[in-house]
A and B are shown apart, each in its own frame.
Chain A
Amino acid sequence: MYVAVKGGEAAIDAAHRQMAAARRGDPAVPPLTVAQIRAQMGFAVARVMAEGALYDPDLAALALKQAWGDVAEAIFLLRAYRTTLPRLAASEPVDTAHMVVRRRVSAAFKDLPGGQVLGPTFDYTHRLLDFALAAEGQASEAAPAAPDDGRAPDAPMPRVADILGGEGLIEPETAPADEATAPVPDLTRDPLTYPADRATRLQALARGDEGFLLSLAYSTQRGHGGTHPFAGEIRVGEVAVEIVPEDLGFPVVIGDITVCECQMINQFTGSRTAPPQFTRGYGLTLGYNERKAMAMALVDRALRHRELDEAATAPAQDEEFVLSHADVVEASGFVQHLKLPHYVDFQAELDLVRRLRRAAAEGVSHDAPEGAPEDAPHNTSAETTP
Chain B
Amino acid sequence: MSADAITFGYLDDQTKRMIRRALLKAVAIPGYQVPFAGREMPLPYGWGTGGIQVTASIIGRDDVLKVIDQGADDTTNAVSIRRFFRRVTGVAATEKTAEATLIQTRHRIPETPLTTGQILIYQVPIPEPLRSMEPRETETRKMHALADYGVMHVKLYEDIARHGRIATAYDYPVRVNGRHVMAPSPIPKFDNPKMHNAPFLQLFGAGREKRLYAIPPYTSVVSLDFEDHPFEVQRWDRVCDLCGAGDSYLDEVVTDDTGGRLFVCSDSEYCTTRRDAGHRGPAADSTAAGALGATLSAVARDRTEDRA
Task: List residues of A whose CB falls within 8 A of some B CB.
Answer: 1-12, 76, 79-84, 86, 188-195, 320, 324, 329-330, 332-337, 340-345, 347-352, 355-356, 359, 364-366, 368-370, 373-379, 381, 383-386
Contact = CB atoms under 8 A, between A and B. Distances in A.
A344 B70 contact: yes
Interface in B47-73: 47, 49, 69-72
A352 B159 CA distance: 12
Contacts of B253: 3, 5
A377 B45 contact: no
A65 to B, nearest CB: 15
Interface in B226-258: 226-237, 249-257
Closest 3 interchain pairs by CB?
A333-B45, A337-B46, A333-B44
Contact of A191 (B79, B106, B210): B210
B267 to A, nearest CB: 10
Given A12-B79, A84-B10, A347-B266, A195 B188 contact: no
B306 interface: yes
B235 A376 contact: yes
Given A84-B6, A347-B188, A375-B235, A8 B79 contact: yes
A345 B187 CA distance: 7
B12 A76 contact: no
8 contacts: A337-B45, A344-B70, A344-B251, A344-B266, A345-B170, A374-B235, A381-B220, A386-B226
Contact of B153 (A4, A8, A84, A385): A385
Contacts, number: 230
Given A3-B256, A8-B299, A83 B222 contact: no
Contacts of A76: 40, 44
Contacts of B38: 191
A70 to B, nearest CB: 13
Interface string B16-40: 0000000000000000000111111
Interface of B: 1, 6-7, 10-12, 14-15, 35-42, 44-47, 49, 69-72, 74-80, 106-108, 125, 135-138, 153, 160-165, 167, 169-171, 175, 178, 186-190, 192-193, 196, 208, 210, 220, 222-237, 249-257, 266, 268, 288, 291-292, 295-296, 298-299, 302-303, 306
B14 to A, nearest CB: 7
B154 to A, nearest CB: 11
Contacts of B266: 343-344, 347
B295 A83 contact: no
A341 B77 contact: yes
In this complex, the member of A2, A10, A348, A351 whose beta carbon has the largest number of chain B beta carbons within 10 angstroms is A348
A335 B251 CA distance: 24
A336 B256 contact: no
Given A1-B256, A341-B69, A348-B234, A336 B44 contact: yes
Contacts of B190: 348
Given A370-B165, A373-B237, A342 B107 contact: yes
B135 A334 contact: no
B36 A9 contact: no
B288 to A, nearest CB: 7
Nearest to B74: A8
Given A191-B36, A376-B233, A7 B299 contact: yes
Nearest to B250: A347
A330 B38 CA distance: 11
Given A334-B45, A378-B193, A3 B137 contact: no
B228 A369 contact: yes
A256 B7 CA distance: 29
B304 to A, nearest CB: 11
Contacts of B171: 345
A336 B189 contact: no
Given A1-B257, A191-B210, 11 more contacts: A5-B253, A80-B42, A82-B40, A190-B37, A320-B135, A320-B137, A374-B237, A375-B233, A381-B196, A384-B226, A385-B153
Given A192-B210, A320-B135, A378 B232 contact: yes
A83 B160 contact: no
B164 A2 contact: no
Contacts of A368: 164
B285 to A, nearest CB: 16
In this complex, the member of B47, B106, B230 whose beta carbon has the largest number of chain A beta carbons within 10 angstroms is B230
A377 B70 CA distance: 24
A306 to B, nearest CB: 12
A111 to B, nearest CB: 45
A366 B164 contact: yes
A6 B295 contact: yes
B295 A4 contact: yes
Contacts of B72: 6
Nearest to B165: A370
A80 B77 CA distance: 18
Given A5-B295, A6-B292, A336-B46, A80 B41 contact: yes
In this complex, the member of B45, B125, B256 whose beta carbon has the largest number of chain A beta carbons within 10 angstroms is B45
Contacts of B234: 348, 351, 374-375
A383 B176 CA distance: 11
Contacts of A377: 230-232
B208 A334 contact: yes
Contacts of A192: 210
B40 A83 contact: yes
A3 B254 contact: yes
A7 B69 contact: no
